Structure 1
Amino acid sequence: MVMRTPNFDQSVVEPHRAFLQELLAKGQLQESGRFTDGTGGAYVVLAESLDAATAIAHADPVHTTGASELTIYEWEIAVSA
């Protein structure tokens, strides 16, 4: 989950989208989207461990610039389409 901080700058949006596109191309991104209230968004990465997922998320420009605060959860899928 990605929540904007007071340091959020709109210029980080395009690098963030490019980062997500790169994850998608590598087969590491399952879903992504923004919250409609403008406070942030969320994405689901596919990784072999929580540590690997954390490393991926910490490379996101919204994190590295301090524009957003990340909360990372390990998620176990119970039912899938």
Structure 2
Amino acid sequence: MPWFVKIESGVVDKTIFDQYVPAHKAFVQDLIAKGHQAKTGYWAKMGGGMLLFEADSMEEAQAIIALDPLVKNGCVNYQLYEWKIVVE
């Protein structure tokens, strides 16, 4: 299954953003339970973060990202890429 990465930057005040973090974590846990091998985190020295996950296609990846509470609630701008692994 291909890997995808959503690279994001926050666009709302941290107090608003933080309201949706628990729902985002639950969303990622659901992806893991469904076999998408998801990982999420944020950059240590700058705003923004990343979600890494497997999906069958770019279309499925886009549909998955559309359900992310951070996206649904307008907390982030993001770019979605298919990640081609060279060495495992």
Question: Which TM-score band (shorter chain)?
Answer: 0.7 to 0.9
Cα deviation 1:5-61 (Å, max 9, x = unaligned): 135511011000110111011111343221113512111111111111111011100
Q: Name the structure 2 match of 1:5.
A: 11
Superposition pairs of residues 1-80 of structure 1, within 5 angstroms: 1-6=7-12, 9=16, 10-37=18-45, 39-80=47-88
**Taking structure 1 as the reference length, what is the TM-score of the superposition?**
0.87
The unaligned stretches of length 5 or more in structure 1 are: none
| Aligned counterparts of 1:59 and 1:53: Cα–Cα separation in 2 | 10
Q: Percent identity?
A: 31
Instruction: Give the count of matched residue pairs.
Output: 80
- Runs of 4+ aligned structure 1 residues displaced above 3 Å come to none
Structure number with the bigger relative contact order (C-alpha 8 A, sep ≥ 6) is 2
CA-based RMSD of the aligned residues comes to 1.5
Structure (1 or 2) with the greater strand fraction: 2
**Taking structure 2 as the reference length, what is the TM-score of the superposition?**
0.81
The unaligned stretches of length 5 or more in structure 2 are: 1-6
